[in-house]
A and B are shown apart, each in its own frame.
Chain A
Amino acid sequence: MTTERYVDAIRTVFPDWDGSGDLAATTFESVPGWDSMNSVNLQMELESAFGVNLSDRPAEKRDTLAAYFEYLKTQKT
């Protein structure tokens, strides 16, 4: 589960985001094309990319990309 793969998964759903910048300082809200409905698409993409089932949707409880990645790493594959 690498940061690069995580960024690629986000860019699959949000192609207008260039993937650059500090993930700890990047909120989901700031990602171009972000909205609550698209957050579900990201959840599905991450579940598929990493073989996990996620109970928390992106941005539901963790606002930054880095914080959600930390949560993602704790989920069992």
Chain B
Amino acid sequence: MAWIAATGSYLPVRIVRNDEFDQFPPNSLRLIESKTGIRERRFAADDQLNSDLAHEAAKACLDQAGIEPSDIDGVIVATSSPDRMQPATATRVQHLIGARRAWAFDVNSVCSGAVFALATANAMVQSLMARNILVVASEVYSRITNPRDFSTYPYFGDGAGAALVTSTSSRWRVGASVLASDGSGSEKIQVPNGGKFTMVGKDVYEFAISKGPQILAELVRAERISADTIAGVICHQANVNILREIASRSGISFERFFVNLDRYGNTAAASVLIALDEFLAEARPTSGSRVLLAAFGGGLSWGGISISVEDE
């Protein structure tokens, strides 16, 4: 078995509100909140790399866990906006946190990245390959979106989240996971070589509201639980209207869906781990309940993980 021993997150200091986008027609700015629920987001400082955000989230996680960097066996960074094409952003994070024994690599499954990374870490711990794996999801989409593209730029924010997956029993046990991909949709969400981020908005919306309920249903079935044991749903924070539709279609009350996209925008792979960190700190789910993670994004890809809340 594997557990999540601790979580952490980091949001850059700079807040960017919708009304600060003076490159867009003033009469269009109200569309941002009405269509997405986003009121503001954070942008990394000019001298902050993706790995710097990841480092801060990792530090917060390790502080919560109370373990030394020397105890970490592996670092997995989920990102689709890496420091560079190569090497992996995870290698700089490994260096920054001083985890000298740890191997390190990146996972790129765009907005599903954190779920894919957590599932990978879970499998590695359960196979006895590692005892402690630090999973960090970190994104700087302000750098890869076109500031003059109203269909993408206002959606996204920068940030990082982290979780320590461990073989030491803890409060949050990692349960069932589901992962899926469909490469026939690879052009729906992409950053073409030498270009900026693009997505086919309508198609992505339909994809998200289709797969979100499917992920949750598969987790519920795999865990053999009833909806009333679900303490919270941590969905990829893409758009509040998507979340509402997923709630409606899944039969899980929207009140159980954690939402912070109004403050941070869509932080791509980072959104699930940032939301998980905030949810666990605020909601303090009780023993016997479940927290379901669900994400969907470029690839196309989608996946979910169930977390069981246990006695400490």
Which of A's residues lie within 8 Å of B, judged by CB? 33-38, 40-41, 43-44, 47, 54-55, 57
Nearest CB of chain B from residue A76's CB, rounded to whole Å: 16
Nearest CB of chain B from residue A16's CB, rounded to whole Å: 9
Query: Which of B24, B28, B35, B200 has the largest count of A CB atoms less than 10 A from its CB?
Result: B28
Interface string of B79-92 (1 = CB under 8 A from A): 00000000000000
CB < 8 Å neighbour of B31 from A33, A37, A47: A37
- Chain B residues closer than 8 Å to A54, beta-carbon distance: 25
CB < 8 Å neighbour of A37 from B25, B27, B35, B148: B35
B149 at interface, CB cutoff 8 A: yes
Interface of B is mostly: loop
Nearest residue, chain B, Cβ from A41:
B150
Question: Is A44 touching B202 in the complex (CB atoms < 8 A)?
Answer: no
Summed over the interface, the residue pairs from A and B with CB atoms below 8 Å come to a total of 38
CB < 8 Å neighbour of A40 from B150, B200, B202: B150
Nearest residue, chain B, Cβ from A55:
B27
- Chain A residues closer than 8 Å to B148, beta-carbon distance: 44
- Chain A residues closer than 8 Å to B150, beta-carbon distance: 37-38, 40-41, 44
Of all A-B residue pairs in the complex, the 6 with the closest CB atoms, nearest first, are: A40-B150, A37-B151, A35-B201, A40-B28, A38-B151, A41-B150
Nearest CB of chain B from residue A60's CB, rounded to whole Å: 9
Nearest CB of chain A from residue B68's CB, rounded to whole Å: 47
With the chains together, A77 CA to B51 CA distance in Å? 47
Question: Is A57 touching B201 in the complex (CB atoms < 8 A)?
Answer: no
Nearest CB of chain B from residue A49's CB, rounded to whole Å: 14
With the chains together, A41 CA to B149 CA distance in Å? 6
Question: Is B200 touching A43 in the complex (CB atoms < 8 A)?
Answer: no
With the chains together, A8 CA to B225 CA distance in Å? 55
Nearest residue, chain B, Cβ from A43:
B25
With the chains together, A54 CA to B27 CA distance in Å? 9
Question: Is B25 touching A36 in the complex (CB atoms < 8 A)?
Answer: no
With the chains together, A35 CA to B188 CA distance in Å? 14
Interface string of B144-177 (1 = CB under 8 A from A): 0000111110000000000000000000000000
Nearest residue, chain B, Cβ from A13:
B151
Question: What are 7 A-B interface contacts by the 8 Å CB criterion?
Answer: A35-B151, A35-B201, A38-B201, A40-B24, A40-B25, A40-B151, A54-B25
- Chain B residues closer than 8 Å to A57, beta-carbon distance: 25, 27-28
- Chain B residues closer than 8 Å to A40, beta-carbon distance: 24-25, 28, 31, 150-151
With the chains together, A42 CA to B201 CA distance in Å? 15
